[in-house]
Structure 1
Amino acid sequence: MADRPGAVLVLTNPYDVTADLVLRRLADRRVPVVRIDPGADLHTGASLSAHYGTGGQRGTLRTASRTLDLTDVRSVWVRRPSPYDPPPDMAEHDGKFAAAQSFWGTGGILASLPGAHYVNHPWRIRDAEYKPAQLSAASRSGFLVPATAITTDPDEAREFCAGQPGGAVYKPLWDSRYRDSHGTAQQIWVCGVDPAEITDAVSLCPHLFQARVPKVFDVRVTAVGDHLFGVRVESPDLDWRHRQDLMTCTPIEIPEAVARSVTAYLDELGLVYGAFDFAVTADGAWYFFECNANGQWAWQPAETTAAIADALADQLQKGPDT
């Protein structure tokens, strides 16, 4: 493989065992790697500096074991870095200020490395996380998209859900942190909706309601560049993520029309990587649910996981297209 020299910069937390699968492959290929969790490590001894001027830019990242010239980065893998939280023991208002400066300063430096290949670029990840943007791009890309309403109007919500012949479901617009009245963390799963149970509380924030797809199984398609990996997901639950110990996954062929739409979607949103979720009906129709621009993938069958790790290592090793 003809690739640009330089290091691969991996932005992720220290507990990310999924990243280790790719890093081992890069190590076997003798590709230099620098791994850092900028939201945490810069509070514990690591340092980052950048200089800008008429002649261009330069900078240095120092960790406990590495010193990296920021002009010598071939690729950046934005995996699962920690949030830019304030340093420990800092006063509340000072901490908020420091966290914001880190987000815009550190985040801005690491998102603006000259000539680096991003998988994915953090700004593209953020743009692609908006559900309305996903649904809009999916429709333009040629996917089948279930009828969907995002509304703060309770009457419109009831009317929409009552008008779906096969029923409707509710989905959160974002995987927000949520705790019940006892302070216990809760996960909000996709769930069925009875129009009669929709209350005026819908007016407090946008809610996403969607026609229930009469699926016979789900599919996860993991895209790495122009390489696509599909698995059929069988689960007793409406939301297969709910009890993953009960689901089964087997590789599946991806129809050409779906593959073309995946490519169009990635191109429109400027993504190299995407984890797509579909529902497949008895007549073979694939309905788009969402695309996670930073979705997990190591839970899939061993052969699929290995192939995805190889494809990601290839992307990071090659660097930017010339």
Structure 2
Amino acid sequence: MTVLILTRERDAIADMLARMLGDKVACLDLGDLPAQIKLTATWHGGTITGAITSGARRVRLQEVKSVWMRKPSILEFPAGAREDWITRESVHAFIGALRALPGVRWMSHPDAQEKARYKLHQLAVAHEAGLASPSTLVTTDSDGALAYLDGTHAMACKTLSGHHSDFPASGIISAPTTGMGGPQKFSTCFQRAVERATAVRLVAVGGQIFCARSIDRSWRQARVPTGTATKIMKVMKSFGLSYAAFDFAEDVGGRWWFQGIDPSGSFSALEREAGLPISQAIAEWLLDK
């Protein structure tokens, strides 16, 4: 029995799980395909057999118990480059072989992770589950953004797919700023900021929920409000996720406002500062205990 963790180099969370699982785990980075990871897969008579080899480690496909899609990196090359095609072919073969294995537990399945990526879809699913979320605008129209930023409410400006070094990180905008007019070259997300909010992060692992609140720049264990756990599980089921990190903003009245989901969100600070046994829960889920 082998647990595969697909992640990038220098991932402290994956390293922690690897230490817990010992020889039951193999950590692989899709960015190492095909030079450092070798795959052989044969489909015959309704059965897939083969092996994955990385360095001195060889894992038979039939031994794979579960796969954690942690945060694998994929090498990027200029569009049309030969290296890009080679990488895409290798990833296609590798993930296709794992998807073909019967009974493998995914944390979470690639289809579920892809489905849960999109901000507006997250808001719609969260609303359907009964979670409150702030008013949000996603636009490529600067005039629309200026109209939305009327100065009445502070807005959080957020990225949709992750930060980029060429653009500023998320921040609070209290009013329209000079230079915002004219055509935009990329989509921008504006979300009404929750007044004097406290950050809350909730991590769902299978059917378990772990929660912490940010107090004085440190995470402290927090109680989940009555009924919220059920709503979280509805969101998890809707997307088909077995793991996700949920971010909330708690207002001065104690109401939680849904901010977003990260299907591979971090939890190391919550475990370290709030003492939440999240890595143990993940290890047990991957081993199907």
TM-score (norm 1): 0.81
Q: Which amino acid aligns with 1:169?
A: A
Cα distance in 1 for partners of 2:191, 2:198 equals 17
Cα distance in 2 for partners of 1:202, 1:144 equals 32
Q: Which amino acid aligns with 2:48?
A: Q
Q: Which amino acid aligns with 1:223?
A: A
Contact 1:161 1:211 in 2 (8 A): no
Which residue in 2 is equivalent to 1:276? Answer: 246
Which stretch has the larger CA shift, 127-136 or 190-199? 190-199
1:81 corresponds to 2:62? no
User: Structure 1 residues 261, 197: CA separation in 2 closer, same or farther (over 3 Å shift)?
Assistant: farther
Cα distance in 1 for partners of 2:57, 2:171 equals 44
- Spell out the pairing of 1:10-29 with structure 2 (5 A cutoff): 10-27=5-22
What displacement does 1:99 show? Answer: 2.2
What displacement does 1:161 show? Answer: 2.1
Contact 2:6 2:27 in 1 (8 A): yes
- Unaligned ranges ≥5, structure 2: none
- Spell out the pairing of 1:33-112 with structure 2 (5 A cutoff): 33-40=25-32, 42-44=34-36, 46-85=37-76, 93-112=81-100
Which residue in 2 is equivalent to 1:243? Answer: none
Contact 1:158 1:198 in 2 (8 A): no
1:159 corresponds to 2:147? yes
What secondary structure sits across from 1:97 in the alignment? Answer: helix
Cα distance in 2 for partners of 1:267, 1:52 equals 31
What displacement does 1:85 show? Answer: 4.3
Which stretch has the larger CA shift, 283-292 or 117-126? 117-126
Higher relative contact order (CA 8 A, sep 6+): 1
What displacement does 1:303 show? Answer: 6.6
- Spell out the pairing of 1:181-220 with structure 2 (5 A cutoff): 188-197=169-178, 199-201=180-182, 203-220=184-201
- Aligned-pair Cα RMSD in Å: 2.5
Which residue in 1 is equivalent to 2:105? Answer: 117
Cα distance in 2 for partners of 1:234, 1:102 equals 45
What displacement does 1:305 show? Answer: 5.4
What displacement does 1:166 show? Answer: 2.8
Which residue in 2 is equivalent to 1:182? Answer: none
Q: Which amino acid aligns with 1:58?
A: T
Which stretch has the larger CA shift, 148-157 or 277-286? 148-157
Q: Which amino acid aligns with 1:126?
A: E
Cα distance in 1 for partners of 2:117, 2:100 equals 20
What displacement does 1:92 show? Answer: 7.4
Which stretch has the larger CA shift, 50-59 or 292-301? 50-59
Cα distance in 2 for partners of 1:294, 1:34 equals 18
Which stretch has the larger CA shift, 106-115 or 167-176? 106-115
User: Structure 1 residues 227, 283: CA separation in 2 closer, same or farther (over 3 Å shift)?
Assistant: same
What displacement does 1:175 show? Answer: 1.0
Contact 1:169 1:210 in 2 (8 A): yes
1:308 to 278, 283, 289: 278
What displacement does 1:272 show? Answer: 0.6
Contact 2:157 2:190 in 1 (8 A): yes
State the Cα deviation string for residues 27-61 of structure 1 (Å, max 9, x = none). 3xxx62222223215313x3112222442322211
Cα distance in 2 for partners of 1:315, 1:256 equals 25
Q: Which amino acid aligns with 1:295?
A: G
What displacement does 1:102 show? Answer: 2.5
Cα distance in 2 for partners of 1:234, 1:85 equals 39
Q: Kindly, what percent of the aligned residue pairs are identical?
A: 28
User: Structure 1 residues 137, 35: CA separation in 2 closer, same or farther (over 3 Å shift)?
Assistant: same
Which residue in 2 is equivalent to 1:297? Answer: 267
User: Structure 1 residues 215, 51: CA separation in 2 closer, same or farther (over 3 Å shift)?
Assistant: farther
Any runs of at least 4 consecutive aligned residues in structure 1 with deviations exceeding 4 A, and if so which?
A: 303-306
User: Structure 1 residues 274, 32: CA separation in 2 closer, same or farther (over 3 Å shift)?
Assistant: same
Contact 1:48 1:62 in 2 (8 A): yes
Q: Which amino acid aligns with 2:101?
A: L
Contact 1:299 1:305 in 2 (8 A): no
Q: Alignment length, in residue pairs?
A: 289
State the Cα deviation string for residues 241-273 of structure 1 (Å, max 9, x = none). xxxxxx221111011222111101110001011
